[in-house]
Amino acid sequence: MTFPYLLTLIVFSPLLGILVLAFTPKTKESAIKLIGVLATIPALILTLYLYIAFQLGAKLSDFAEKVSWMQFANPEVFNSVYSVNYELRADGFSILMLVLTALLSTLAAIASIHIKKEWKGYFILFLLLQIGMFGVFAAGNLILFFIFFEITLIPTFFLIGKWGYAEKEKAALSFLIYNGIGSAILLIVIMFLFAKIGTTNIEALMSILSNKAILSESTKMTLLIALIIAFGVKLPIFPLHSWMVRVHVEAPPSIVMLHAGILLKIGAYGLIKFGIGFFPEQFQSLATWIAILGVINLLYGAFLALIQTDFKKVLAYSSISHMGIVLIGLGAINSAGVQGAIFQVVSHGLLAALLFWLVSIFYQRYETTKLAELGGMARAMPVTAGFLLVGALGSLGLPGMSGFIAEFMSFLGLFKSMPILAAVGCLGIILTAVYLLRAVLSITFGEGKTTNKVKDMETIEKIPAVILVCLIVAIGVYPDLIASGLTNTIETIVIGLGG
């Protein structure tokens, strides 16, 4: 059924592409782009294989890998040896994230056809970023997690800073500063746990930390808050979000597809996996605050999205708003809420990728994303306009698409634990419709404002859009498609939460 080193193969498969690219002359644009796209295919096939094997009932332990890597501290002086292993493992949630990463990477690689310069460097960094993302989701211990986490930062920094729009350097810098601080805090937490407990293996930590005798209550709480800040920067949680708006606006759309689709989700993944996983009781006592932060994120992002004049900024604030749903689901601390949060992670990944791909398509033609300069696109580019509307409807939580399922389950969960707060949050559902329709209709409807003679989407441009829409609709119509694979993960989390 499964074969050894599957996870390692997945994580490092982009290396093959990097190797080939290294020997490709940097002027051969179409060859580089082709290699770039092809290099993401093996990982896609492997992750799909992994997903299918898992769905067909393969044991998770079959995927786990462990090789001794390094040891330190002198065993003669100390009674314990500090060893760091190279260990990979997967569960329902991380398998889902691996598939999502592989899929969005392929689509973002296709979307990179709009990249205009230095394709070789671009794709090498792109594939490096992919390795980092895979590694984050497959890591079996915190040290590896951290290493891969850092690997995602550096290529992203250069991809933003070099291939972005006008204020790209500034955006790249604030990206680096914020995420640098976030990972510094994360590192402190990891080192503390390592020093105190002697292992960084995620599963081991989960069971050890559930023992009340280990670490005092207040230490645990401090560690949890540190983790929330570290991953909160990534998600981002209000008020740590301003770097993310800049990145959304300035980074090349193909990178934003990955950024909004996967990189932000590392924040959610970390919160769920380590925040709740290691400190369930402390998380529970913070649940009200998490839910309140979620509602603030949801409403604050929505109100700001309402008055933006640049479509990319609308989408950026919309991402902040949508990440509020993740927090709302987690704050609900019941199975409906947690499942809703995970669904939102996947769903927003797909929707954000779709919307930014469409941004790339019409920016290519109109060279603007300012709402005031656009209008009447439905006449010149009916197909693009149609996809844009589908993306907006999906994003505002139209039933039949993935966003609704996520929103529905998160709110279902929150209404059980905090009905009043949930009712306030529901205001966000209305606001989302208002700002998305305002933005999308002013682009697609009305009289045409630009005189550019433009052509509608090319066939190659349709591929990512069609695939994304199909997945969004598939999850929306039959959510058990991915929910069934998550049952165990969610059960583990909810049992940790004590019910």
Partner 1 sequence: MMEFAWIIPLFPLLSFLLLIVYGKKWGSAAPYIGMLLTFASFIVSLLVLVARFENPTYKAEATWLTIGDATLTAGFEVNQLNALMLVIVSLVSFLVHMYSKGYMQGDERISVFYSYLGLFTFAMLGLVLSPNLLQTYIFWELVGVGSFLLIGFYFYKEEAKAAAKKAFIMTRIGDVALFIGMILLFWQVGSFEYDEIFASVSAGTISSEMITLTAILIFIGAVGKSGQFPLHSWLPDAMEGPTPVSALIHAATMVAAGVYLVATMFPVFAASEAALMTVAIVGAFTAIFAASIGLVQKDIKRVLAYSTVSQLGFMMLALGSAGYVAGVFHLTTHAFFKALLFLAAGSVIHAVHTQDIEKMGGLWKKLRLTGPLFLIGTLAISGVPLLSGFFSKDEILVATWVHGHTILFLLAIIAAFMTAFYMFRLFFLVFGGEARGDTNHVKESPNVMTVPMWVLAFLAIFAGYINTPWFGSFLGDWLTDGNAALGHGHIEGPIWIMGLATAVSLLGIALAWLIYSRKSLSRDWLSSRAPYAYQLVNKKYYIDEFYHFTVVKAASILSRVARLFEVIIVEGLIKLITAFITGLSKLGSRMQDGQVQTYGTVAFLGLAVLVIVLALTGGYL
Shortest separation between residue 416's beta carbon and partner 1, angstroms: 5
DSSP string, 458-479: -HHHHHHHHHHHHHHHHHHH-T
DSSP 86: E
Shortest separation between residue 178's beta carbon and partner 1, angstroms: 8
Q: What are phi and psi of 56, to 5 degrees?
A: -80, 0
Shortest separation between residue 332's beta carbon and partner 1, angstroms: 11
Complex with partner 1: residue 139 or 409, whichever CB lies closer: 409
Shortest separation between residue 76's beta carbon and partner 1, angstroms: 13
DSSP string, 327-351: HHHHHT-SHHHHHHHHHHHHHHHHH
Shortest separation between residue 478's beta carbon and partner 1, angstroms: 7
Complex with partner 1: residue 133 or 431, whichever CB lies closer: 431
What residues line the site for partner 1 (CB under 8 A)? 78, 173-174, 177-178, 181, 195, 239, 241-243, 300, 303-304, 306-307, 334-336, 339, 376, 378-379, 393, 398-400, 404-405, 408-409, 411-412, 415-416, 419, 422-423, 426-427, 429-431, 433-434, 437-438, 441, 444-448, 478-480, 483-484, 487, 490, 494
Shortest separation between residue 424's beta carbon and partner 1, angstroms: 11
Token pair of 125, please? 């960094």
Q: CA-to-CA distance for 297 and 304, rounded, in angstroms?
A: 11
Q: Is 192 helix (H, G, I), strand (E, B) or coil?
A: helix
Shortest separation between residue 371's beta carbon and partner 1, angstroms: 13
Shortest separation between residue 13's beta carbon and partner 1, angstroms: 33
Complex with partner 1: residue 5 or 478, whichever CB lies closer: 478
Complex with partner 1: residue 14 or 397, whichever CB lies closer: 397
Complex with partner 1: residue 4 or 448, whichever CB lies closer: 448
Complex with partner 1: residue 93 or 126, whichever CB lies closer: 93
CB proximity list for 155: less than 8 A, separation 6 or greater: 125, 126, 128, 129, 132
Q: For residues 332 and 416, is the Cβ–Cβ distance under 8 A? A: yes
Complex with partner 1: residue 41 or 467, whichever CB lies closer: 467
Q: For residues 111 and 254, is the Cβ–Cβ distance under 8 A? A: yes
Q: For residues 252 and 159, is the Cβ–Cβ distance under 8 A? A: yes
DSSP 200: -
Complex with partner 1: residue 108 or 247, whichever CB lies closer: 247
Token pair of 321, please? 């708003």
Cα–Cα distances (Å) from 380 to 367, 373, 442, in that order, read 15, 15, 14
- Which spans in 198-333 are helix H? 202-209, 217-234, 242-250, 253-258, 264-270, 277-278, 280-306, 311-331
Complex with partner 1: residue 14 or 413, whichever CB lies closer: 413
CB proximity list for 298: less than 8 A, separation 6 or greater: 321, 322, 324, 325, 328, 425, 428
DSSP 141: B
Shortest separation between residue 125's beta carbon and partner 1, angstroms: 24
Place of tokens 């006449």: 379
